[in-house]
Structure 1
Amino acid sequence: MDRMDRSTAEVFDDHLDCATRNDVEADLKANFAPDCVLLTSFGRFDGHDGVREAAALLARQVPEAEYRYIRRVTHGEIAFLEWTATGRGSRVRDGADSFLIRNDRIEIMTIHYTVESDNDADTPPAASAASV
């Protein structure tokens, strides 16, 4: 299948498969536009380096995470995901991401989640070095 023939759902599903395997590099190559933008509760992340930084931040916040995808919805160029994660010492119960997928690539992604610690469920996550 020619890359430009993938539907929004196919790009979205491939992204989630890569994320489940923690294969950021394959995900970048197959699914993210080089000039993508991630807007998150931790700031703005630009391009492939920004995606790497956002993935590393989540990996530090929820080490050894196991992800559960609660709801996947697509419509036209838009995709939405509700998710949870459980890791060593912390968890996310309220993950919500949205995607603008054009030309076979994720161009814009919004990401929201709250990290809860096993020690104190009300402790806010550490701020990142991302530009705001």
Structure 2
Amino acid sequence: MPYRSTEEVFRDHLALAQAGDVETDLARNFAPDCVLLTSFGPFEGHAGVRDAAQLLTEQLGPATYDYKTVVWSGEMAFLEWTATTDRATVPDGADSFLIQAGQIRAMTIHYSVCPPSAA
């Protein structure tokens, strides 16, 4: 079976992230040995993706993300995003992705957590 394209993996990840479905996202889109390099330190493997997702949930609470820039080329993808909840605001989310053989192999994730009124 052919691998899914960068676009297919990326769009599926974004939809599942918006839905808060980390487990399906892991199963379909993340390599078991993926690496996330973030503003809050490194996270490795599926356990690391779970930990990074949990950290974001703790910081923001339930959130809907506004995807500002969604682009890909070859094996790379890039996302700019914002989020606002009663608890906090992220005005400057920026993630990059390395997607190979139908799986997210590596990501960089940057975002600042600000008081909700700081947006």
Which of the five TM-score ranges fits, normalised by the shorter chain?
over 0.9
How far off its partner does 1:92 sit?
Answer: 0.3
Larger Rg: 1
How far off its partner does 1:91 sit?
Answer: 0.8
Partners of 2:11 and 2:90 lie apart in 1 by 21
State the AA in 1 paired with 2:58: R
Partners of 2:62 and 2:110 lie apart in 1 by 19
Query: What residue in structure 1 maps to residue 65 of structure 2?
Result: 67
| TM-score computed with the length of structure 2 as normaliser | 0.95
State the AA in 1 paired with 2:106: I
State the AA in 2 paired with 1:15: H
Give per-residue Cα distances to partners, 1:10-65, cap 9 Å, x unaligned: 00000001001000000000000000000001000000000000000000101111
How far off its partner does 1:6 sit?
Answer: 1.1
Q: Is the 8 A contact 1:67 1:85 kept in 2?
A: yes
Percent of residue pairs identical: 59
Equivalent residue for 1:113, pick from 102, 111, 114: 111
For structure 1, the 5+ residue unaligned runs are 122-132
Equivalent residue for 2:41, pick from 23, 39, 43: 43
Partners of 1:118 and 1:73 lie apart in 2 by 28
- Report how many residues are paired: 118
Root mean square deviation, CA, Å? 1.1
Q: Is the 8 A contact 1:64 1:88 kept in 2?
A: no
1:12 and 2:24 correspond: no
How far off its partner does 1:118 sit?
Answer: 3.0
Three-state SS of the structure 2 residue aligned to 1:109 is strand
Give per-residue Cα distances to partners, 1:63-114, cap 9 Å, x unaligned: 1111100010101000000000111221101000000000100000000000
Deviates more, 1:110-119 or 1:70-79: 110-119
1:93 and 2:94 correspond: no
State the AA in 1 paired with 2:28: A
Higher helix share: 2
Q: How does 1:24-39 map to 2 (within 5 A)?
A: 24-39=22-37
Runs of 4+ with >3 A deviation: none
Q: Is the 8 A contact 1:73 1:79 kept in 2?
A: yes
